[in-house]
């Protein structure tokens, strides 16, 4: 297990992870960060859709140890800044380099989780499990 801090007394994250050790504070910070990427508007944002938990799950299961290390380093760096609301989180993320590994993973997974969320797939960009049709020449009404 790799972790953002070496202290053992912090509270654990709310979901069980196998490879990365995240604390409740890490989770809270990630919640601010994902909400900054996809905020609540007239429809739910990333926090309400629990995308911080999705990001944690994907980092834990679907990334290489190198990626996990980069992610934890990025998270640790963010934790040293005072981020108490979405605006501060957004400002922090906007200050990161485009190529920042932490940012790249966080953003990619947040977007993936959002577009594949039950909410979006049922209410916004409708997913059809059973299309029952194929039309290869649908005229678009301009």
Partner 1 sequence: MANLNIDSEKNRTYDAIVIGSGISGGWSAKELCERGLKTLVLERGRDVQHIKDYPTTNMNPWEFEHRNEVTYQLKQDNPIASKCYAFQEATEQFFVKDQEHPYVQEKPFDWIRGYQVGGKSLLWARQTQRWSDFDFEGPARDGFAVDWPIRYADLKPWYDYVERFAGISGDKDGLPELPDGEFLPGYPLNVVEKYFKQTVESKYPERKLITARCAHISQPQPIHIQQGRTQCQNRTLCERGCPFGGYFSSNASTLPWAAKTGNMTLRPDAVVHSILYDEDKGKAIGVRVIDRNTKEEIDFYAKLIFVNAAAINTNLILLNSRSNRFPNGLGNDSDTLGKYVAFHNYSARIYAEYEGLLDFKTEGRNPAGGGYIPRFRNLYKQETDYLRGYAAGFGAYRSANSDRSGLGVDLKESLLNPQLGNWGVGSHMMGETIPKVDSYVALDSNQKDAWGVPLLKISIDYDDNDEKMKKDYLDTMEEMFTEAGFTNIRRDDRWQAPGLDIHEMGGVRMGNDAKTSMLNKWNQMHAVSNVFVTDGACMTSTSTQNPSLTYMAFSARSVDYAVQELKKGNI
Integer CA distances (angstroms), 128 to 90, 105, 118, in order = 33, 28, 12
For residues 8 to 47, the per-residue mask of contacts with partner 1, x marking binding by CB under 8 A and - elsewhere, is: ----------------------------xxxx-x-x-x--
Count of residues that bind partner 1 according to CB under 8 A = 44
Backbone angles phi, psi at 92, to 5 degrees: -60, -50
Binding flag, residue 78, partner 1 (CB under 8 A): no
Q: Is 67 exposed, middle or buried (0-12, 13-18, 19+ CB in 10 A)?
A: middle
What's the min distance (Å) between Cβ of 74 and partner 1? Answer: 15
CA pair distance 126, 22, nearest whole angstrom: 34
- Residues making contact with partner 1 (CB under 8 A): 36-39, 41, 43, 45, 57-58, 61-64, 90, 93-94, 107, 111-118, 120-121, 124-125, 127-140, 142
């Amino acid at each position: 297990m790799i972790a953002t801090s070496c202290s053992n007394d912090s509270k654990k994250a709310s979901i069980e992870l196998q490879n990365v050790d995240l604390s409740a504070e890490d989770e809270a910070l990630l919640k601010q960060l994902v909400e900054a990427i996809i905020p609540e508007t007239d429809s739910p944002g990333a926090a309400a859709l629990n995308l911080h938990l999705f990001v944690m799950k994907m980092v834990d299961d679907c990334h290489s140890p190198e990626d996990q290390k980069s992610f934890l380093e990025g998270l640790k760096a963010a934790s040293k800044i005072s981020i108490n609301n979405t605006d501060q989180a957004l400002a922090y993320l906007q200050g990161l380099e485009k190529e920042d590994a932490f940012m790249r993973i966080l953003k990619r997974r947040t977007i993936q989780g959002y577009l594949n969320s039950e909410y979006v797939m049922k209410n916004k960009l409708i997913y059809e499990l059973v299309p029952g049709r194929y039309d290869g020449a649908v005229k678009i009404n301009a």
